[in-house]
Amino acid sequence: MISQNELLKLIPEALDETNLPLSGRQSGKVRDWYDLPSGQRLIVTTDRLSAFDRVLARVPYKGQVLNQLSAWWFEQTQDIIPNHIISLPDPNASIVRTAEPILVEVIVRGYITGVTSTALWYRYSLGERNIYGYEFPEGLQKNALLPEPIITPTTKGGATGHDERLTCEEVVQKGLLDAKTWDQVQTAALAIFKRGQEVAGKAGLILVDTKYEFGIAADGSVVLIDEVHTPDSSRFWKADTYDARFAAGEDPENFDKEFVRIAYADKGYRGDGEIPSMPEELWVSASQRYIQIFEMLTGQIFDAGSYPVEERLLMNLKRAGVIS
Ligand SMILES: Nc1ncnc2c1ncn2[C@@H]1O[C@H](COP(=O)(O)OP(=O)(O)OP(=O)(O)O)[C@@H](O)[C@H]1O
Ligand SMILES: [Mg+2]
């Protein structure tokens, strides 16, 4: 395990952005990507940490964890649906098939929880009993297991737009997707979620909910893209303390990046106004948390790549022939 001191020293070196000698860099909140002449895409997962739709910090090894953990999950689910991965030339980078992203975020939920405006528990606590087109009974407790996992789609908001809630019917009615493709996507999403729950269960974790993105590949097939079952895209709870805490009316122990949101909420920040500054220890804990989740889920020892990342990345990309 990398020591707290080493992680602290790496914070200023954490990968903020890439400036590779390739044309047309694009970036999201967490990833930078470059469209390659081959029609493929190079995606670099940086160390940026986002919450409340903002980039809040840089967390050492976060990019590597997300890139390698997603790649691992893509492998674990490729018998269910093909995915975008072609290769991993570097711990922080993937070469993928560029797909036409489907403009629906496919969120699968196994439990009723969450306090953001699109979360099930939040809607339920407002008194809503029909949420995302599903009927919920009276008397549900926060963090309860749902009878079966459900899909609660939202629009893919893009850079500025906010994600809007949709029912499964509306995805087709609004013309976001044809019925046959949407059916295929839903079947795949539920099957990947089931696989995720099984794997997480063996690691002592509960996969609570998650977000998938799908795209249409050049040959017209539906592929799983973006990231899978990472602490950024999913909620994880500790399995062995769930029952007792649930019975006592306490929140489960979370094992994702929720503790970052909680640290901000404790300072009164919920996404609006000036961002409070946080002690560097929070980002050290975050780094340890990401590495720990990687190790728990994959059963592998995390093999920390060298810093500075961009130097190493450049070398690996030259070696892979992506950069001449
Ligand atoms: N194979 C692919 N083909 C095309 N686009 C892809 C592919 N894989 C991922 N993407 C897109 O690349 C972007 C990844 O960047 P990043 O994760 O930083 O976005 P983001 O700002 O977090 O946005 P979001 O909140 O939608 O995830 C996403 O917009 C995702 O839809
Ligand atoms: Mg993303």
Closest-CA residue, ligand 1 atom 30, reads 226
Helix 280-298, helix 258-266: angle, nearest 10: 160
Q: Write down the pLDDT at residue 159.
A: 55
Q: Write down the pLDDT at residue 158.
A: 60
Q: 256: pLDDT confidence band, cut at 50, 70 and 90?
A: confident
Angstrom distance (rounded) from CA 106 to CA 234 = 12
**137: preceding bond cis by omega (within 30 degrees):** no
Tell me, rounded to whole angstroms, the distance of Cα 46 from its chain centroid. 13
For residue 151, what are the contacts with CB-CB under 8 A and spacing of at least 6? 106, 107, 108, 168, 186, 189, 190
Torsion sign across C-alpha atoms 246, 250, 252, 258: positive
pTM for the predicted model, two decimal places: 0.96
Angstrom distance (rounded) from CA 292 to CA 65 = 10
Closest-CA residue, ligand 1 atom 29, reads 28
225 lines ligand 1 (CB under 6 A): yes
96 lines ligand 1 (CB under 6 A): yes
Q: Write down the pLDDT at residue 52.
A: 87
- Write out 93-138 in H/E/C secondary structure: EEEEECCEECCEEEEEEEEECCCCCCCHHHHHHCCCCEECCEECCC
Is the confidence at residue 103, as pLDDT, over 60? yes
Q: How far apart are the CA of 226 and the centre of ligand 1, in A? A: 5
Place of tokens 């099930």: 120
Closest-CA residue, ligand 1 atom 6, reads 226
Is the confidence at residue 291, as pLDDT, over 90? yes
Angstrom distance (rounded) from CA 2 to CA 291 = 9
Q: Are 78 and 186 in contact (CB under 8 A)?
A: no
Angstrom distance (rounded) from CA 297 to CA 280 = 26
Torsion sign across C-alpha atoms 136, 140, 141, 145: negative
55: part of which helix (H) or strand (E)?
Answer: strand 54-58
Tell me the pLDDT tens digit for each residue of 194-248. Answer: 999 999 999 999 999 999 999 999 999 999 999 999 999 999 999 999 999 999 9
What is the CB-side half-sphere exposure of residue 55 using CA atoms within 13 A? 14
226 lines ligand 1 (CB under 6 A): yes
In this structure, are strands 100-101 and 205-216 parallel, antiparallel, or unpaired?
Answer: antiparallel
Q: Write down the pLDDT at residue 161.
A: 64
Q: Are 314 and 323 in contact (CB under 8 A)?
A: yes
For residue 111, what are the contacts with CB-CB under 8 A and spacing of at least 6? 143, 144, 145, 146, 206, 208, 209
> Which one of 17, 45, 225 would you pick to mutate in the ligand 1 pocket, going by the greatest count of ligand atoms within 8 A of its CB?
225
Q: Are 61 and 230 in contact (CB under 8 A)?
A: no
Atom of ligand 1 nearest to the CA of 84: 1
Atom of ligand 1 nearest to the CA of 225: 8
Atom of ligand 1 nearest to the CA of 233: 27
Tell me the pLDDT tens digit for each residue of 25-38. Answer: 999 999 999 999 98
Angstrom distance (rounded) from CA 265 to CA 29 = 21
> Which tokens sit at 262?
């909680």
Tell me the pLDDT tens digit for each residue of 128-187. Answer: 999 999 999 999 999 999 999 999 999 997 655 678 999 999 999 999 999 999 999 999
Q: Write down the pLDDT at residue 177.
A: 97
Q: How far apart are the CA of 33 and the centre of ligand 1, in A? A: 9
Burial tier of 258 (Cβ tally within 10 Å: 0-12, 13-18, 19+): buried
29 lines ligand 1 (CB under 6 A): yes
Place of tokens 């909680």: 262
Q: Could you give phi then psi for residue 167, rounded to 5 degrees? A: -90, 165
